[in-house]
Amino acid sequence: MHDSRPSPVGKRDAGVIISRAPVRINDLGGWTDTWFSGTGKVLSTAVSPGAACHLSFAACRPPRGKRFTLDVRNFDCRYSFDPDNPPLDRHPLLEATAASMDVPPDIAVEASVSSELPPGCGTGTSASVVVALIGALDRLTPGTTEADAVWRAAHRVETDMLGWESGVQDQVTAVYGGICFIDVHRYPEARICRLVPGKEIAGELERRLVLVFLGEGHQSSEVHRDVIARISGEGEDCPALAELREIPPMAREALEEGDLTRFGALMSRNNECQRSLDNELISPEADRVIALARGLGAPGWKVNGAGGRGGSLTLLAGDGPGARDELVRELRRLGEGIRDIPVKLNHEGLAVRGEGLWNPREGG
């Protein structure tokens, strides 16, 4: 988490705060960072572009209570509401986030939020948008929340305020960036370790990773509900979850040793573990891309997120000269909206800049 917080110099009548948070790809061990798994391990990779929030604020003259405006750029949707009584009907995740942050009275706040990735990409974009919005709103008065508290706050919005299903890896990776090894010792409690691969291996990993959009947005489905019901019935001893927990520590070791061939093999093994939960978690479109990648010498592939129709997957291209370029060219010939999305490793995590209001509780 990157913080460029200035020293407060007095109360401000107006200002702008800008925040950015990465998304995650290649979430090895996903499905184990959940309430129905109880314990788990995930190795997740943060990439840019991710989510952004441009927050502007101005004192109301005369004072008139709270007013919050959301501009959701990807959906061309702009509207205002009282953050103390959010409607929770248009964009409930963002409305609930505004409600959770105790917006100061007598100021008008407008938050413009966006992502450069397609909606429903399956890369934790929703969590990244929430993290970016929390980061900006925290800076408003004037920003004292530590990284660990930010991801927990973002997670509570989904689970406690809205009652949605959510693991913890999306929020953690959006806040910390880098390659995160997340040890969920008792959901939702987690220990986080950011891996720092050598410059050479990090560069090779970035060069060879390919994010592939599968042509349509991913949405939670009846398949996911069926899988959750079955897994929760089996408890923590579910064999598929047990195998999924084993993969992230081995993948971490492979990265630390600079062995991307082994790392790719573990990606593919993780993908088959997802398939064992339910065949429909690996869609026909994903299998088309996997068959193409395998034929071009790629050592690894993994459907992002929970899997199912639409969304995206991560490929690890072969290491030969031009292997990645050839893979990308062939992907673009598949049609049906399947395409690569250029990304770069994000080592920064949540980044916030701009001056907020001087908080009178702390000496203003």
Measured between alpha carbons, how far is 316 from 327 in angstroms, rounded to an integer? 10
Name all domains of the chain by residue range, CATH numbers in brackets: 14-354 (3.30.230.120)
| Per-residue tens of pLDDT for the chain, all 364 residues | 665 544 444 466 889 999 999 999 999 999 999 999 999 999 999 999 999 999 999 887 766 777 899 999 999 999 999 999 999 999 999 999 999 998 888 888 999 999 999 988 999 999 999 999 999 999 987 667 799 999 999 999 999 999 998 999 999 999 999 999 999 999 999 999 999 888 899 999 999 999 999 999 887 767 788 889 888 888 778 898 999 999 999 999 999 999 999 999 999 999 999 999 999 999 999 999 999 999 999 999 999 999 989 999 999 999 988 999 999 999 999 999 999 999 999 999 999 998 887 544 333 3
Spatial neighbors of 40 by CB under 8 A, at least 6 apart, are 29, 31, 32, 33, 34, 167, 182, 184, 187, 241, 244, 245
- Reference 260, options 350, 219, 303, 200; nearest CA is 200
Question: Is pTM beyond 0.95 here?
Answer: no
Residue 63: per-residue pLDDT: 60
Asked if 270 and 244 count as a contact pair (C-beta separation under 8 A), the reply is yes
* Residue listed under structure tokens 């959750």: 228
Please give, one letter per residue, the 3-state secondary structure of 20-56.
EEEEEEEEECCCCCCCCCCCEEEEEEEEEEEEEEEEE
Cα 94 off chain centre by: 15
Give strand pairing partners of 300: 316
- Reference 302, options 322, 321, 327, 281; nearest CA is 281
Residue 197: per-residue pLDDT: 86
φ, ψ at 217 (rounded to 5°): -70, 145
* Residue listed under structure tokens 């997802």: 274
38: left (phi over 0), alpha (psi -120 to 50) or beta: left
Describe the crossing of helices 125-139 and 147-156 by its angle, rounded to 10 degrees: 120
Bridge-based pairing state of the strands 40-59 and 2-3: unpaired
- Reference 28, options 234, 243, 339; nearest CA is 243
Spatial neighbors of 270 by CB under 8 A, at least 6 apart, are 28, 29, 30, 244, 247, 302
